[in-house]
Chains A and B, each alone.
Chain A
Amino acid sequence: MSDQAPSEVTVTVNGTEIEAQPGEMLIAATDRAGIHIPRFCYHERMSSVGMCRMCLVDVDTGRGPMLQPSCMVPVADGMVVDTESDDTKRAQEGILEFLLVNHPLDCPVCDKGGECPLQDQTIAYGPGESRFVEEKRHFEKPIPISDLVHLDRERCILCDRCTRFADEIAGDPLIQFTERGNSTQVLTFPDEPFSSYFSGNTVQICPVGALTAAPYRFKARPWDLEETESTCTTCSMGCRISVQSSRNELVRYLGVDVESVNHGWLCDKGRFNFEAINSDERLTVPLVRDQENQRQLLGTDWGSALAAAAEAIGQAGPQGVGIIGGSRLTNEDAYAWSKMARSVIGTDNIDAQLDDGLPAELVLGLPPATIADACEADTVLIVGPDLKEELAILHLRLRGAATRGRTKVVQIGPTATGSESYAQHSIRCQAGEAAKTLTELLSSSDPLAQQLRDGSVVTILGRASMAESADPAISVAAVIRAELPHATFLSALRRGNVRGALDMGLAPGFLPGRVRIDNPSQALLQKWTDIPKEQGLGTTEMLQAAAAGKIETLVLLGADPLCDFPDRNLAAEAIQKVKTVVAIDNFVTSSVAQADIVLPATAYGEQNGTTTNIEGRVSRVIQKITPPGSTRDDWMIATELAWRLGGDLGLTSKDEIWREIEQVAPSHTGITLERVTSDETHEGILVQQSSIDLTLPIPQDTPIADGYGLRLISGRKLWDGATATAHSPSLQHLAEPPTLKVHPNDLQRLGIPSGSEVRVISTRATENLTAVADSNIQRGTAVLPFNQPGGGANRFIDATATINDIRIETL
């Protein structure tokens, strides 16, 4: 090996010289040069395996032309390649004839027909006719290999894409090639389905119709589909997707490959929850509480519903109104509501987060990192939720960086997580005590401390458990700022466009553009009539004020505090106590069912606008279908209400709103409407400047648990009672019922057999649950998923406590 590797090599392809990077495979170089070589098994995001031989081309490295698979041959300087030689053509014909020997050719009834690489390449490169007259091999078809994916082994061409994806990318090698020779087939282990959170990706990358997705089977033909590139807003990762519809109904999402975010992959939740948008249970008309039968909501017209809502807001006065939610909204809608609250109602009681994330000033004020920064850092420090459950594609990116790159993942937390399999270190700490553990680590002589001090560090910071307040996370931030000043941060936040909502000022004390309320820009003062002087209330404080009778009207902006706020009792008391609840939503959630006035909003895929992911990347969401019934965009609802309250937001379209955002939000200066509607939003436009200077408090010790209780830890699962999952027929049954996991010794101490029903007692509630022994759980703690159908952890949690303890008893 020479010391000086050349930085580029030159390869001649079909008589033209192209530049290639040393070490890359020939097919990657020709792809970049726009020269197409047919292929089945090669995939640019996975390792090359040379399974299908479709990419054979004539390669001459000085010894005369030879057929070589271009996905397995690294480029070399002076290589001469012919992708159109007679030998290449004969090879292509031969390979296709072979592949079709066992292929059933059921194109007319195959979901892939019309967009099938096997069809397309057979037409482009095939021999036109087959010499095979014998019987083809037969398999039972199709067999479900999971709840979401069906496998037709007759159609499979054994390219190893699905199995490679499952092993290499997802880390769930639950599908495998079994048997060999003519009997080779993809299979799962008997009774162990392919229950990966990422299974839908295999359907997308299968080059034939062997893998089909249950929610899409026989729904449409590719040539009937219309598509548009958009962004997934199911979680705050912001994966790019292609939204596809047929006859004004969403039928499929596909991942779009963008370097900065999702590399083409999607999680199954984001991929399949389009079913909820098509649901018959969508809200389509405004509803008001029936005056005669208080238990009933009655349909009404927009005029009366808006008038009633405006009256309730007006009567309550600025201090008597609280607005909770906003992460479902696009940036433009969020801006309209931000302006409406401050400038028309005159209140700063507005919060997009349900006290389940980080304080806005941390999100906006900590030194920012991108997802790419994390994947290139020496160390990624995770102190927060289980990323596999809550930000699934971030988990996939980090897994890739850790298994194929040089990034070391270190996590500190109270429970086992999905990151453990690729983490260099998984350090268990007591719930709420990550800061203490980190301080101890950094003051020790552990080589890890050195690694963190010397190398680049990206911290993924979030609230590890819904049963703890934000204080433990704030303490972690304080320790890192003090001890590792070079570290940057990525906030692990919950729900869709939460980052965009915070950027637009849907947090008490903040205005659009990452500025504090006492520091408005001149441009903003010109557009907004008035700004409250005092910082308003956050979600917990609003609910407390409501429960104490100090808030009269509560506006739920796509929020469902009864399910999503950590403390169900407080939420229930607040909703009970206030005079009027105005809910703006897509579905009748538990909280919406308690509302007095319900305004139906348009949903994802039915509106245009922009969204912002956790790293601050702005990309576009695009309307694909017509909204149902008389639903309206959230910004329209804001302007209508403003007008009825005697104000004027001065906003008449989403484009116009973006123009105003660009003028008044200092962080967004220069991000013009032209830019956000251009191709630039394919990768998204990164917005990182912020004028928030942050003073972090001195870390506080977490209260010690008493000897009797178990410390409660509660995170979300990918499959849970989330509204969109619950309204997607293919997904709703994937959420498991809630079980309380406890260390076997703790159960034994109480004489409780694993799997039995126990009484769970907290300061908030006493209820029965099934307790299961799990030796992965630390002693003295109990793990209960936050929102499984059949009972959420929020019944037991006191949102005002730093940390929550429970006791369990035999029945």
Chain B
Amino acid sequence: MKFFTDENLLLAEEIIGRYPKPRSAMIPLLHLAQEQEGWVTDEAMAEIAELVGTTSAEVLGTCSFYEMFKRHPVGKYVINICTTMSCALMGAGDLMKHAELRLGVKSGSTTADGMFTLEGAECQAACTEAPCLQVNYRHQYKVTANQFDALVEELGSSDHEVPEHGVLSQVRQHIPEDRFVGVVPPEDVTTAPVWLNDNGSDQ
């Protein structure tokens, strides 16, 4: 069983090293897995379990709690149309209907060419800009039917900046090793954590 690419495996080990306990790296590794494949496969969860020293069931428990970890294949672009109150009042229902017709799929499914997944979503915290949607979690405000069509056009071309589903950022950050917490044996911990100090100051 081998899920992560060699390059990502190195990265996974770097990420694990940042934490005092390997298990703390579970969510970052789920992101890494989703970035590699576009969604989180069973193989990925099993491998993450092995890497952080726990059971696959625990990784599944964590992964499935978060809606933004997809456990089934999704399109290259996931479009979430907000359906909560403000957007609903400002025409999200019509927008959704339009989107379904334009993409030819029902909300909750993926186009046959694997380009788009259409979903309804809860409030995206942009009520002043209703109706709004997100493409791979990047906001679009006050979306009209025409704008929606234009967006689909644009995503279909190569001329846009939205990365594929799963990509968190286009610049990979590396944290220098001297800033890792790493594993501190309990007997080496001599001071109480900062937040337990009397005045909360770091001394």
Least CB distance, B110 to chain A, in whole angstroms: 20
Residues of A within 8 A of B64 (CB): 178-180
Whether A188 pairs with B57 at a CB distance below 8 angstroms is yes
For residue A175, CB closer than 8 A to chain B, the reply is yes
In the complex formed, the residue of A with least CB distance to B42 is A190
Task: Check A179–B57 contact: CB distance below 8 A.
Answer: no
The reply to whether B55 and A180 contact each other, CB–CB distance below 8 Å, is no
Residues of B27-85 at the interface with A, using a CB-CB cut-off of 8 Å, are: 42, 45-46, 54-61, 64-65
**A192 contacts B65, CB within 8 Å?**
no
In the docked arrangement, what's the CA distance between A174 and B46, Å? 12
Q: Measuring CB to CB, which residues of chain A are less than 8 angstroms from any residue of chain B?
A: 167, 172-180, 187-190, 192
Contacts of A179 in B (CB 8 A): 64-65
Residues of A within 8 A of B46 (CB): 189
Q: Which residues of B contact A178 (CB under 8 A)?
A: 60-61, 64-65
- Which chain B residue shows the least CB distance to A191? B42
- 7 extra A-B contacts, CB within 8 A, seeds A174-B55, A178-B60, A179-B64: A173-B57, A176-B61, A177-B65, A187-B60, A189-B45, A189-B59, A189-B60
CA distance A180 to B185 in the complex (A): 35
Tell me, in angstroms, the Cα distance from A633 to B130 when the chains sit together: 83
B56 touches A192 (CB 8 A): yes
Min CB distance, A807 to chain B, in Å?
33
Shortest Cβ distance from A482 into chain B, in angstroms?
30
CB distance from A598 to the nearest CB of B (A): 47
Interface positions, chain B 68-110, Cβ under 8 Å from A, are none
Hey, which chain B residues are within 8 Å of A189, CB to CB? 42, 45-46, 55-57, 59-60
| Bound-complex Cα distance A172 to B58 (A) | 10
Residues of B within 8 A of A (CB): 42, 45-46, 54-61, 64-65
How far is B142's CA from A533's CA once the two chains are assembled, in angstroms?
A: 103
Q: Could you name 14 residue pairs across A and B whose Cβ atoms are closer than 8 Å?
A: A173-B55, A173-B58, A174-B57, A176-B57, A176-B60, A176-B61, A177-B61, A178-B65, A187-B60, A189-B42, A189-B55, A189-B59, A192-B56, A192-B57
Give chain B residues whose Cβ lies under 8 Å from the Cβ of A192: 55-57
Cα separation A180 to B64 with both chains bound (whole Å): 8
Taking CB atoms, residues of chain A closer than 8 Å to B56 are 189, 192
Q: Is the CB of A180 within 8 A of B57?
A: no
Contact partners of A188 in chain B: CB under 8 A: 57
- Measured in the bound complex, the distance between the Cα atoms of B42 and A177 in whole Å is 16
Q: Complex Cα distance A609/B61, Å?
A: 47
Inter-chain contacts of A177 with B (CB < 8 A)? 61, 65
Bound form: Cα–Cα A172–B55 in Å: 8
Ranked nearest first, the 5 interchain pairs of A and B with the lowest CB-CB distance are A176-B61, A189-B56, A178-B64, A189-B57, A176-B57
B42 to chain A, nearest CB (A): 6
Most chain A CB atoms below 10 A, which of B42, B54, B55: B55
Would you give the shortest CB distance from B160 to chain A, in whole angstroms? 33
Distance of A173 Cα from B57 Cα, bound (Å): 7
**Assembly CA distance A192 to B59 (angstroms):** 13
- A180 to B69: give the CA distance in the assembly, Å: 13
Most chain-A CB neighbours within 10 Å: which of B45, B56, B57, B58? B57
Query: How far is B57's CA from A177's CA once the two chains are assembled, in angstroms?
Result: 9
**Least Cβ–Cβ distance between A763 and chain B, in angstroms:** 40
Least CB distance from A159 to B in Å reads 16
Q: Cβ of A175: which chain B residues have Cβ within 8 Å of it?
A: 57
**Residue on A with the closest CB to B64?**
A178
Contacts of B59 in A (CB 8 A): 189
Which of the listed residues A175, A176, A177, A188 has the most CB atoms from chain B within 10 Å of its own CB? A176
In the complex, what distance in Å separates the CA atom of A173 from the CA atom of B58? 7
In the bound complex, CA of A673 to CA of B55 (Å): 50
User: How far, in angstroms, from A180 to B65 measured CA to CA in the complex?
Assistant: 5
Chain A contacts of B42 at CB under 8 A?
Answer: 189-190
Question: Nearest Cβ distance between residue A417 and chain B, in whole angstroms?
Answer: 17
| Residues of chain A lying within 8 A (CB to CB) of residue B45 | 189
Nearest CB of chain B from residue A704's CB, rounded to whole Å = 37
Report the separation of the CA atoms of residues A175 and B64 in the bound assembly, to the nearest whole angstrom: 13
With the chains together, A232 CA to B160 CA distance in Å?
Answer: 70
Shortest beta-carbon distance from A420 to chain B in Å: 12
Minimum CB distance partner of A189 in chain B = B56
Q: How far is the CB of B134 from chain A (nearest CB, A)?
A: 20
- Bound Cα distance A176, B49 (Å): 14
Q: Which residues of A have CB within 8 Å of B58? A: 167, 173, 176
The CA-CA distance from A167 to B55 in the complex, in Å, is 10
Q: Are A173 and B65 in contact (CB under 8 A)?
A: no
On chain B, the residues within 8 Å of A190 by CB distance are 42
CA of A631 to CA of B49, assembled, Å:
53
B140 to chain A, nearest CB (A): 26
Enumerate chain B residues within 8 angstroms of A176, measured Cβ to Cβ.
Answer: 57-58, 60-61
Question: Nearest residue in A to B62 (C-beta to C-beta)?
Answer: A176
Alpha-carbon distance A177/B60, docked complex (angstroms)? 9
Least CB separation from B67: chain A residue: A180
- Chain A, Cβ-Cβ closest to B187: A447
Q: How far is the CA of A188 from the CA of B65 in the complex (A)?
A: 14
Q: What A residues does B55 contact at CB under 8 A?
A: 172-174, 189, 192
Complex Cα gap A190–B64 (Å): 13
A187 to B55, CA, bound (A): 13
Most interface-central of B42, B45, B46, B61 (chain A CB within 10 A): B61
Q: Among B42, B45, B54, B65, which residue has the most Cβ atoms of chain A within 10 A? A: B65
Instruction: With both chains docked as a complex, state the minimum distance between the C-beta of A490 and any C-beta of chain B, in angstroms.
Output: 28
Which B residues are in CB contact (< 8 Å) with A173? 54-55, 57-58
In the complex, what distance in Å separates the CA atom of A192 from the CA atom of B45? 12
In the complex formed, the residue of B with least CB distance to A172 is B55
Docked pose: A176 CA to B60 CA in angstroms: 8
Q: In the complex, how many angstroms separate the beta carbon of A89 from the nearest chain B beta carbon?
A: 34
- Chain B's nearest CB lies how many Å from the CB of A713? 26
The CA-CA distance from A190 to B60 in the complex, in Å, is 9
Task: Write out the residue numbers on chain A whose beta carbons fall within 8 Å of the beta carbon of B54.
Answer: 173
Chain A nearest CB, measured from B44 CB (Å): 12
In this complex, what residue of B is CB-closest to A166? Answer: B57
Task: List the B side residues contacting A180 at CB < 8 Å.
Answer: 64-65
Distance, CA A178 to CA B56, complexed state (A): 12
CB distance from B46 to the nearest CB of A (A): 7
CA–CA, A472 to B65, complex, Å? 52
In the complex, what residue of chain A is closest to B65 when comparing beta carbons?
A: A180
A68 to B114, CA, bound (A): 51
Point out the residues of chain A lying under 8 angstroms from B57, CB to CB: 173-176, 187-189, 192
Q: Smallest CB-CB separation from A176: which chain B residue?
A: B61
CA of A551 to CA of B54, assembled, Å: 56
Alpha-carbon distance A770/B42, docked complex (angstroms):
30
CB distance from A183 to the nearest CB of B (A): 9
Q: Which residue of A is nearest B66, CB measured?
A: A180
Cα–Cα, bound, A167→B62 (Å): 14
Q: B65 to chain A: which residues have CB within 8 Å?
A: 177-180
- Complex CA gap A189/B61 in Å reads 9
CA distance A167 to B58 in the complex (A): 10
- Bound together, the chains give a CA A373 to CA B65 distance in angstroms of 42
Give Cα A176–Cα B55 distance, bound, in whole angstroms. 10
**A160 nearest CB across to chain B (Å):** 11
Q: Across the two chains, which residue of chain B brings its CB closest to A163?
A: B61
In the assembled complex, which residues on chain B have CB atoms less than 8 Å from the CB atom of A174? 55, 57
Closest chain-B Cβ to A775's Cβ sits at a distance in Å of: 14
Q: How far is the CA of A154 from the CA of B37 in the complex (A)?
A: 33
Residues of chain B within 8 A of A187, CB atoms compared: 57, 60
Cα distance A174–B61 in the bound complex, in angstroms: 10
CA distance A201 to B42 in the complex (A): 28
Complex Cα distance, B57 from A175, in Å, reads: 6
Expressed in whole angstroms, the minimum distance between the Cβ of B43 and any Cβ of chain A is 11
| Residue of A whose beta carbon sits closest to that of B54 | A173
Q: How far is the CA of A516 from the CA of B2 in the complex (A)?
A: 62
By beta carbon, the residue of chain B nearest A188 is B57
Q: How far is the CA of A187 from the CA of B58 in the complex (A)?
A: 10
Which single residue of chain B is at the shortest CB-CB distance from A447? Answer: B187
CB of A502 to closest CB in B, whole Å: 40
A251–B82 alpha-carbon span in the complex (Å): 55
Residues of A within 8 A of B60 (CB): 176, 178, 187, 189
Most chain B beta carbons < 10 A, residue from A188, A189, A192: A189
